[in-house]
Structure 1
């Protein structure tokens, strides 16, 4: 009898401990932070270049756009940069995990130099937008649909639209690709997006925390269901890409250890739309642009020739 009681208490302690750890993991991964975390050590060498782009971003003429402007709990904020040549083409840029629209200044300038207007939203729970929890692109995809519609309302039915994102932003655009996009959306570029939230979390549990998938992923998933309304396993960029009909360029660093490069191949094979895959051999996560900005712009420009 004593053994069974002891065993029961031990199992209860283990379950309580696992639940505590899962709540901690959820808060670390999903809870809003009101700052941009320091970049990884291998990207510190690009700091001066990055701040040069930020300086341009802050000085270039721009407008501030809103969704749900009069509702503080739902308000979303974006920067719109009008190209002076008025060529009727706009890129919508989706930022990465715990970033914001300013952290995409380098991509904004690149597309501006290619003749695009630029729309850069802050996702839910990022930057100046409302929200308590990061949703890793799944709910954000609906917000980007609203941004697309707002852009068409303001700029006109003849506006051509490119969707672009990096890391979480790349996955967001891949998830968005499976929706009923308006005809104005002509193409998509996804840089180092993950194939699913569950796969990415399971991978990081092992690589960063040395924890197994079970019981932690199911527990975190259940917490997320209560907070944000969906289980992690319900969300898949690959499944969304199966419904994609837009030409898409996948970019991924060959030395990416944060979002493993195999996910780029999984996403590439998931879609039947016109597609290209560019693996930047020596680039780490989200480093492909920084590794060689001229080559990056040239590859993007080459892809876009057909569609813009």
Structure 2
């Protein structure tokens, strides 16, 4: 009997260690610094320091429903009531969104870029890959409508986790934007974790994920299965432009293909020939912009 208790105790300790280790990685994923992101964007030619300082950026702070402030920049292109909200990916911040801000400003759209929770200057203790982030995005959309009227035209562009956030928001009961551009999202968090566990850690997901799921619910209040754009995609009636690089091996392009095929109503798909994860725009600039222009022309 004593040996049984020792064995059970060792098993419980092992499972606890696995659960804590994995959820620490998920909840507190290491972020890139402002300086590192700025250096990368400058060195890769997204914009210059002169442009960075000359952008007429207005600092905005929007209350999150979770008790912290969402920090962002609002840049006006004109007086029209046309707005693009840009949501960045995990480990990034709003500096990463400046390249997209430039793209839409040049097309006459007023632009809001903001820091997702626990990133940049925004508050929040954990990263939830769109689960809690979708409510912050809702707060940003509501801020635009409160400031500029319910008749404002609003589009949302998201990259990676930002694209997941946009799709999860769009799948809520209140679908508050007129269109969405989803650049390299995963279709299902569980499938993405299974893929990354196999690729990075060589671990069997059927052993790790049930334990991790229990601890994630215990520590951060949600389950892995609740972060699933594919589960809500049929609810989204607004037009969506799906974008993914064919060479992306971090989030596979098949995930975007699956979302595109499942989406009902207005939709468009652009698969970029070049680029790794989140590099569809950087490595296919002309084709990316053409896909944006075609999509906007079709839905306007």
Is TM (by shorter chain) over 0.5? Answer: yes
Do the aligned partners of residues 25 and 100 (structure 1) sit closer, same or farther apart at CA in structure 2, a change above 3 Å counting? same
Tell me if structure 1 keeps the 8 A contact 2:175–2:236. Answer: no
Match of 1:302 in 2: 294
Select 2:140's aligned residue among 143, 147, 158.
147
TM-score, structure 2 normalization: 0.90
Match of 1:118 in 2: 111
Select 1:191's aligned residue among 183, 198, 223.
183
Match of 2:14 in 1: 17
Task: Could you tell me which runs of 5 or more consecutive residues in structure 1 were left unpaired when the two chains were aligned.
Answer: none
Q: CA RMSD in A?
A: 2.7
Do the aligned partners of residues 220 and 47 (structure 1) sit closer, same or farther apart at CA in structure 2, a change above 3 Å counting? farther
Q: Aligned-pair distance for 1:16?
A: 2.1
Q: Give, in whole Å, the separation in 1 of the partners of 2:141 and 2:152.
A: 10
Q: Give, in whole Å, the separation in 2 of the partners of 1:125 and 1:80.
A: 20
Do the aligned partners of residues 218 and 177 (structure 1) sit closer, same or farther apart at CA in structure 2, a change above 3 Å counting? same
Say which SS state the counterpart of residue 66 (structure 1) adopts.
strand
Q: Aligned-pair distance for 1:45?
A: 8.8
Match of 1:79 in 2: 73
Tell me if structure 2 keeps the 8 A contact 1:54–1:106. Answer: no
Match of 1:128 in 2: 121
Q: Which moved more, 1:268-277 or 1:53-62?
A: 53-62
Aligned length: 299
TM-score, structure 1 normalization: 0.88
Tell me if structure 1 keeps the 8 A contact 2:34–2:95. Answer: no
Tell me if structure 2 keeps the 8 A contact 1:91–1:162. Answer: yes
Task: Could you tell me which runs of 5 or more consecutive residues in structure 2 were left unpaired when the two chains were aligned.
Answer: none
Match of 1:95 in 2: 88
Q: Give, in whole Å, the separation in 2 of the partners of 1:240 and 1:12.
A: 41
Q: Which moved more, 1:104-113 or 1:71-80?
A: 71-80
Q: Aligned-pair distance for 1:33?
A: 4.6
Q: Give, in whole Å, the separation in 1 of the partners of 2:167 and 2:207.
A: 28
